[in-house]
Amino acid sequence: MNGFWQKMKNGFARMMVGRYGADQLGMATLMAGVVLYLIGIVFRSGILNILSFALYAVTVFRMFSRKREPRMAENRKYLEITGKWRLEGTRFIRRQKNKKEYKYFRCPQCRQLLRMKRGQGEKEIRCAKCGNSFKMKS
């Protein structure tokens, strides 16, 4: 039995030689495929099922691709795009949590997002980014 699994492992390793393999984008397309499949079951949507299998196909195609450069470029692009979303998402959640304690506003000059503690009355604000000073009520 051990010999069998060892052979399977070796076989898989040989198959993956020179192939691109898994990356963050691969995980994302796989997860998206699973999510679409589950939503498809709930809503009995054949289109979503087809879409989910298309995503699996993309995942497998990229994993077994021998062209590393374009696959890496795709993954970089993916990380670039979602990085902004992830950052914005965590910032948004933090703002919602702190809303009662802090007032959020933008610098009139550079649009940098700033905050001040509530209940301080009118106060001179200095933008941390561009150094612009202005008055703001908390």
Could you give the residue ranges of the DSSP H alpha helices within 65-138?
68-98
With respect to Zn ion, which residue has the nearer C-beta, 38 or 110? Answer: 110
Shortest Cβ distance from residue 89 to Zn ion (Å)? 24
With respect to Zn ion, which residue has the nearer C-beta, 19 or 115? Answer: 115
Q: What number of helices (H) and strands (E) belong to the chain?
A: 4, 4
Shortest Cβ distance from residue 96 to Zn ion (Å)? 23
How many Å is the maximal CA-CA distance in the chain? 76
What six digits make up the tokens of 111? 């649009």
Shortest Cβ distance from residue 45 to Zn ion (Å)? 48
With respect to Zn ion, which residue has the nearer C-beta, 9 or 106? Answer: 106
Measured distance CA(18)–CA(11) in Å, rounded: 14
With respect to Zn ion, which residue has the nearer C-beta, 99 or 106? Answer: 106
Shortest Cβ distance from residue 103 to Zn ion (Å)? 16
Residues that bind Zn ion (CB under 5 A): 107, 109-110, 112, 127, 129-130, 132
Measured distance CA(45)–CA(62) in Å, rounded: 26
